[in-house]
Structures are given as structure tokens and as C-alpha cells.
Amino acid sequence: MVTGTTSVPRLVIAAPSSGSGKTTVATGLMAAFAASGLAVSPHKVGPDYIDPGYHALATGRPGRNLDAYLCGPQALPGLFGHGARGADLAVVEGVMGLYDGAAHQGELASTAQVAKVLRAPVVLVVDAASQSRSVAALVHGFASWDPEVRVAGVILNKVGSDRHEELLREALAGSGVPVFGALRRVGAVHTPSRHLGLVPVAERHAEAVESVAALADRVRAGCDLPGLLELARSAPPLPGPAWDPAHSLREARSAYAGHAAEPDAEPGTGPESGAGRGARPVVAVAGGSAFTFSYAEHAELLTAAGADVVPFDPLRETRLPEGTRGLVIGGGFPEVYAAELSANEPLRAAVAALAASGAPIAAECAGLLYLARSLTPEPDTEVGTRTAPLPMCGVLPADARMSGRLTLGYREAVALSPSPLLPVGARVRGHEFHRTVITPGAGEGPDGPGDGAGGGPAALPAWGVVRPTRQVEGFVRGGVHASYLHVHWAATPGIAASFVRSCAR
């Protein structure tokens, strides 16, 4: 039995609601503590991909997600321990309001639940712009709502003046919840956004560096950093071992025993993991500005399963990495870079050829759009005209376009067709987050239309979504699995094992 504990000091940065300043404070704290010489481990509650990019920039360590819906509450201490290994301090940014979680499922996936699972003190960021004495009632309500949640401090945001700060501190003096800082209501640090939130770090690196430095300066000037560090050190040890990708793959091998997708060797011991770089199958992972959404654990699982993971940028590179045997294309903003992606005809042809060879390709959301026949990008708002469809890789018999409607939320789904990822009947939890639509929305089976050129295997449906509403979604075609659904592989590590095994065939 694997045992152990995690004793990293930690804080959860939460708020009464979205828009209160969690990202400002959390990122600023991460950067300020890192600049003081501490090794800071950054974490984000929920499935969001964008904030962790800023966290990584602030700390120099991968931003990691803690999502109780996608991975299960029981997995979070281990995942936290894995990410925080060797750190002096961990800062966890919450999601939405402190007690907000998955719809109709109680506390599941809320910041409060994660704080309880991690046994971490919570610092509440309060937007104080339009209140004074009432702040005490608000903080009291949040601190007393769930006795198992330790609301141990407050940071006041958008404070108007010295007099305003004095009134707020006076109101909170008898609350039993100390004030660890007050940030003035000044011009916002420049963090541009678009239709899915902040613009990712990869698209504005130089500006992002300046933004994070400015956040650190604000937090350093307005917050009691020594007091917050002392509070973080009050968190008790977390029982249980840190998550380990190789160990999780061994457990997955047992869970998949008897299934078609069962890995046929121990992690790191199969023929695909022999000595030397050339003996390991190369798995190309799309990155760059167009494909910025990925969980760090995915590459770690692929590596532990025996793959040689090689990132590449579809906006800049005209060929796949040398020796590519499998391809992973995560989420991002291909609609913003549709013209550049379409213009890179050599790479589109290489991706299509890889798919035609039967090699495994795993595509989520942005990857789904890139594999379609065409993508109609967002309209030109300056002249009010919509651009024409642009050719993509043509791997899937479907066409994508921007939509004015946001599709957002958790999903439960069942694998409907055999693929390099999962056996038929495997259940997963995932997340959708996009403003695009694809037509048709799923493979239509062996009797459906072909690819328009009379060749290639039939496109089969990938998922049967069972919650919140029933629908068929995504495509399986040969070795290709493409869907809007974002899945966290740490919850289903057999995906990585099966994918790498398919690469080695």
C-alpha cells in the first residue's frame, strides 16, 4: 500500500461571487510570494484553463486544476500533493462564489468543498466598493454558513479611500475574521478578455508578464504577506500519498482488465518504452496561441505510459514532429486563428495523412474544429460582415462555425464507439466551454454520409451524454476521437495507456 502525507502550507482564495477580484488577488499573491524567494505551487478550482496560465507565469510552475466533479473529491488531495511537491507554499484560486458548485448537486465542485478536502484556510476577497458596515454581515454569513469551512481572513478589494478602509476595518473588528489586506479602487491592470474569458498568456506573453508584475506590486503594497504566510502554515498535514502517473496507470490496468482497451504491459515496461528516444512512440501535442487548453497531467500520463511527448505549434510549423505516431489536439481558440491555420496547408495535409493511416488522434473542442472540413470564424465586427468558411484538415465530415450562444457546463457521458481512448460503455465526466457549433454534431454511424470524397471509414458517434440532458456528441473515425467534451485524464488514466498502446501498433 502506498502511504504518505502532504505538509505544504496552503491558502484558498475565495469570494462571495464572481467578479470580486479572486484572480487579481490570487495571481498577485502567487507572484509576490514567488518574488520573495518562495517556491509557490499554483492551483485553480474547477475546469478553467486560462487562469492557470497566469498562475504559471506568476510562479514558474505549472498551473494545476482541482476539480471535484471531473476527478472526484477523493482524488484532490493526491493531485494537490503531486502539484505542490517541493513547494514552500500553495495558493489555490477558487471558482465563482465560495459555495457555488455543479448545478443541482449541492457542494460538489465548489471552492468550499475543495477547501474542506484540502483542510485549507480560506481567505475571502470582498468587493467593498459599495458598502461599509454591511461588510461585517456579509463576512459573518460566509464564515458561519458551513462550520467545516474555515474562513480565516478577509482581503478587501476596491476600497475607495483611507476613510473607507477605516470604516470597513472597524466593522470587521468584532467579527473574529481578521483583515489581511485592502486594495484600492484604481484603474484595472490590463488583462484583456474575449468570448471565453481572459486572453490566454500564450497570446500576449510580454503584456502578461507586465500585468502579473503589476498585480504583485498591488498585492505586496496592500496585503500582510507575513500574516498570510503564517496563516497558510496553520493548515494541518493532508493524509495520503501524492498522485503519481505511473501508479495511476497500474491501477487503471487493473480496472480495465478484460476490456479491449486494457493496457498490455506495465507502465514503462512495454515495447514502446524501450531505451532511447527512438524506441518510444512520438506523441505530438498541439500548442501555441491557437491551442492553449491542456491539463498538465495529460502529458505526464502519456510520458509515464511510454510516449515521447513533443509539443508543436500549428501556427508556425509546417510538419508534424519527426516520427509522430499519435496526435493530441486540446482546446483553445482556433476560431481566432482560423485564417492562419487554414493557410498552413502542408500541416493540414500532414494531419489528414496521419488520420488516414489509422494513427490515434485525440481532439477536444478546438481540436474538433481543426479536424473539421471547414471553420467559419468570428465575424468582422468593424464592418459587420461574416467571413467565408475556411478549409481545415478535412478529417471529419462536419463543418464548424462561430455562434452567439455560449455552451457551458459539466457533462456525464458514455463511450458509444470503440476508439483508441476508451472501450464502449466506459463512463466519464467532462466539461464543455465554447461559442461554436459543428454540423452534424456527431458521427452518424455506418449508414451516415461519407467524407464527401468517397473514402475513409464511417464516422461513428463518440459520446452518449446522459447528464444534464441526453444527446449524442462527437466523432470516432478510424483512430480519431474528436469531441467538444474536455475530460481530465487523471480521472481516467486508462485513456493515456490505451492511446500509447495504439501508437505502438
Would you please indicate which residues are annotated as catalytic (active-site) residues? 365
Contact 401, 234 (CB under 8 A): no
In three-state form (DSSP H/G/I as H, E/B as E, the rest C), the secondary structure along 108-164 is CCCHHHHHHHHCCCEEEEEECCCCCCHHHHHHHHHHHHCCCCCEEEEEEEEECCHHH
User: What is the Cα–Cα distance from 119 to 333, expressed in whole angstroms?
Assistant: 36
- Number of Cβ within 10 Å of residue 178's Cβ equals 15
Contact 285, 481 (CB under 8 A): no
Joined together, the cell numbers standing for residue 460 give 461513428
* Secondary structure letter of residue 280 according to DSSP: S
- Number of Cβ within 10 Å of residue 207's Cβ equals 14
User: What is the Cα–Cα distance from 53 to 57, expressed in whole angstroms?
Assistant: 6
Secondary structure (3-state) at 333: coil
User: What is the Cα–Cα distance from 344 to 408, expressed in whole angstroms?
Assistant: 30
Concatenate the DSSP letters of all residues of 395-439 into one string.
Answer: -SS-EEEEEEEEEEEEEEEEE-S--SS--TT-EEEEEEEEEEEEE
Contact 448, 458 (CB under 8 A): yes
Residue with cell 471509414: 457
Residue with cell 480496472: 255
H or E segment to which residue 325 belongs: strand 324-329
Contact 307, 272 (CB under 8 A): yes
User: What is the Cα–Cα distance from 179 to 123, expressed in whole angstroms?
Assistant: 9
Cis peptide bond upstream of 468, omega within 30: yes
H or E segment to which residue 198 belongs: strand 197-198
Residue with cell 473515425: 477
Dihedral pair phi/psi, residue 410, rounded to 5°: -75, 150
User: What is the Cα–Cα distance from 211 to 51, expressed in whole angstroms?
Assistant: 13
* Secondary structure letter of residue 201 according to DSSP: G
